[in-house]
Structure 1
Amino acid sequence: MAPTFPGESQAYRAARDRLLAREIELRQLTEAVARERRALPPGGVVPEDYVFETSVGGASRPVRLSELFAPGKDTLAIYSYMFGPERAGPCSMCTPLLDGLDAAEPNIRQRLTLVAVAESPAARLAAFAAERGWRNLRVLSTAGNHYNRDYHGKGREGGDTTMLNLFRREGAKVRHFWGTEMAHTSGEPGQDHRGLDMLSPIFAMFDLTPAGRGDFYTKLSYP
């Protein structure tokens, strides 16, 4: 039996019980979609061992995609961060999302490796990560390779765009497993594509409120 709350009307409780049934349906559908995702056939083999750049102590050094997998882990998630050299600053929607992922990364690393990549130089990315206070999330430069082009971190016009891709290591091979393709589709009328909402505690929280998310967009800072 669902709980009741002080002062609620019969009309409220009847509507809330109907909504609860729908929420349970959504939970069941979410798990069904997750099962279908896990059951996908093998994805394509990664065409090359992409070389990224990382900044350590002010010096850049190369790191290959195959080297990003943590020992004993066979899954790698790469977030394409909209922070290319043509931008004066990073994306104001990506950055708060990565704020949350930076905080969650110590938990995430228990099951997989998570990194973010952007086309700005490694030193610029490292400086911003330090300024932002990120302590856990690795941010690598993809400026010298075709990773973003191949895995849709670039739009058709050539500018950076958002994409999260997951890869699976199978022995000596690395295969693409899944990507946030919904981020490259049109949203419902009056909505953005919402392709990364599953990772956003911000918008999940707003969706619980009487006003909803409205036309709110995150910013790098607020007054």
Structure 2
Amino acid sequence: MNFPNESRSYRHSRDELLEAEIRLRRTLEEVAALRRQLPPGGVAQDYTFDGANGKLRLADLFERGESLVAYSFMYGPDMERPCPMCTSILDGLEGNAQHIAQRTNLVVIAKSPIERILAFARSRGWSRLRLLSSQGNSYNRDYYAETADGAQMPMLNVFRRDGGTIRHFYGTELLYAKEEPGQNARHVDLIWPLWNVLDLTPEGRGTDWYPKLEY
């Protein structure tokens, strides 16, 4: 492959990068396969959440298939405004929610009262995301979406239903792993379009810019 007017040095470097991209693609699939092969996790409590139309148990969230993806939105009752980073993720998931729903169940859980969550969703134009409040249960603390001092954390968890039993399947533990120089946690980069697009540019994602609620 050659693009118009490219130099030999460009093609040499690009071919080396292509080999690295192929290795990365292979590694990503190897990691995904290891994830799929995880043995059953611990049995989950049948938590009760507040939804837009009333109370919902964890078991009620399995509308399509036997898996449930639950993203913890950093918007606690003591926070004046939601996390801009989480909001950026959810802006992207809003557009994909109808597609995700063809294969699995997706919910977004925050600790604020449901009325407050829904009001913010309306301000963003979110209409497809299934939003829940965990204000009345211990879900956030149990599944590492909240620290011991009450700080909210952007954890993503996956649950699996087997007959009448719901078990934890996967959590983005990379959030709590020791960070390497020049990298933040990157535990949910796979669902975050923003950084994936910026990583394709010469400037990259940078080290001093983060998304905001308004521009």
Residues 141 and 148, structure 2, Cα contact 8 Å, conserved in 1: no
Partner of 1:160: 152
Structure 2 distance, partners of 1:127, 1:19, is: 45
Aligned-residue offset at 1:207: 0.5
Deviations 1:6-38 (A, max 9, x none): 111101101100110010000000001011110
Q: Which amino acid counterpart does residue 219 of structure 1 have in structure 2?
A: K
**TM-score normalized by the length of structure 1:** 0.94
Q: CA deviation at 1:55?
A: 2.6
> Who is 2:31 aligned against?
33
Shift of 1:158: 2.1
- Judged with a 3 Å threshold, the aligned counterparts in structure 2 of structure 1 residues 115 and 42 are, in CA distance, closer, same or farther, namely same
Structure 1 residue 219 corresponds to structure 2 residue 209: no
C-alpha displacement at 1:78, in angstroms?
Answer: 0.8
Distance across 2 between alignment mates of 1:197 and 1:183: 11
Whether contact under 8 Å (2:98, 2:128) holds in the other structure is yes
Selected match of 2:50 from 50, 53, 57: 53
**Regions of 4+ moved over 2 Å:** none
Is the CA contact (8 Å cut-off) linking 1:186 and 1:192 kept in structure 2? no
Do the aligned residues in 2 keep the contact of 1:166 with 1:179 (CA within 8 Å)? yes
Which amino acid in structure 1 is aligned with residue 141 of structure 2? Answer: R
CA deviation digits over 1:33-57, x for unaligned, max 9?
01111011111111x210000133x
- 1:85: Cα distance to partner? 0.7
Q: State the alpha-carbon separation in 2 of the partners of residues 217 and 209 from structure 1.
A: 16
What value does the CA root-mean-square deviation take over the aligned residues?
0.9
Letter in 1 for 2:43: V
How does 1:1-223 map onto structure 2 within 5 Å?
A: 3-46=1-44, 48-56=45-53, 61-70=54-63, 72-215=64-207, 216-222=209-215
Q: Which secondary structure state, in structure 1, belongs to the residue aligned with residue 195 of structure 2?
A: helix
Secondary structure in 1 aligned to 2:69? Answer: strand
* Structure 1, unaligned runs of 5 or more: none
1:157 is displaced (CA, Å) by 2.7
Q: Structure 2 CA distance, aligned partners of 1:55 and 1:135?
A: 11
Q: How many residues end up aligned between the 2 structures? A: 214
CA shift for structure 1 position 192: 1.0
Q: State how far apart, in whole Å, the 1-side matches of 2:14 and 2:55 are.
A: 55
Q: Does the aligned pair in 2 maintain the 1:82–1:91 contact within 8 Å?
A: yes
Share of identical aligned residues, percent?
Answer: 49
Give the counterpart letter for 2:55 in structure 1.
P
